[in-house]
Amino acid sequence: MKAAIIYDSRTNTTEKAAGFIAEGLKKTGDIEVKCFNIDNVDFDYVAGVDMAIFGSPTYMASVTGKMKNWLELNVRKLGLAGKLGGAFATEQYIHGGAENAIKEMLVFMMVMGMLVYSGGNSYGKPVIHLGPVGMSQNIEDFRELFVTYGERMGKQLLRKG
């Protein structure tokens, strides 16, 4: 099984969160995972994945403009239909709109025919309804949340496969 984590990152915080998710995915079994900044995506690799997770910093209570434009411009190259998908976000302050950013990415995935998943409350605490959110000032404090999310996504991928 193969997974891609694709993110925009202005200050490397969202990049770190992507790495934490990759760490969790690798814990669940034989999943090859690669992380890509949207400036350096290997489209051939992504076309062959079974799961794609998207992440963005929160800007104006949404994804960055760069992420939105990138998704729209590259949708045909990604080949997302039928693949498992998830989303995560980082934000500078609590209630900064990260849930909106996650929803925007999830809606994009559903429109493209992806099967979105987060684990919801089915695993108990920590409850991750839509996707994990971490505060950029202290992203290391959210490491376990992102790793847990990666593990849950990996388990679902292995069930789907």
Domain ranges of the chain: 2-160
Position 148 scores a pLDDT of: 96
Cβ–Cβ under 8 Å, residues 1 and 30: yes
Cβ–Cβ under 8 Å, residues 15 and 44: no
SS3 124: coil
Position 122 scores a pLDDT of: 85
pLDDT tens for each residue of the chain, 161 residues long: 999 999 999 899 999 999 999 999 999 988 999 999 999 999 999 999 999 999 999 999 999 999 999 999 998 888 999 999 999 999 998 888 999 999 999 999 999 999 999 888 888 899 999 999 999 889 999 999 999 999 999 999 998 76
Q: Report the C-alpha gap between 124 and 52 in whole angstroms.
A: 24
Position 124 scores a pLDDT of: 87
User: CA gyration radius for the chain?
Assistant: 14
Cβ–Cβ under 8 Å, residues 86 and 56: no
Cis ω for the linkage preceding 126 (within 30 of 0): yes
Position 161 scores a pLDDT of: 67
- Side-chain half-sphere CA neighbours of 146 within 13 A: 27
Q: Report the C-alpha gap between 133 and 113 in whole angstroms.
A: 24
Which runs of consecutive H residues, i.e. helices, occur in the chain? 13-27, 43-47, 65-78, 98-111, 143-160
- Global pTM value: 0.96
Q: Please provide the CATH number assigned to the domain covering 2-160.
A: 3.40.50.360
For 82, phi then psi, to 5°, come to 80, -5
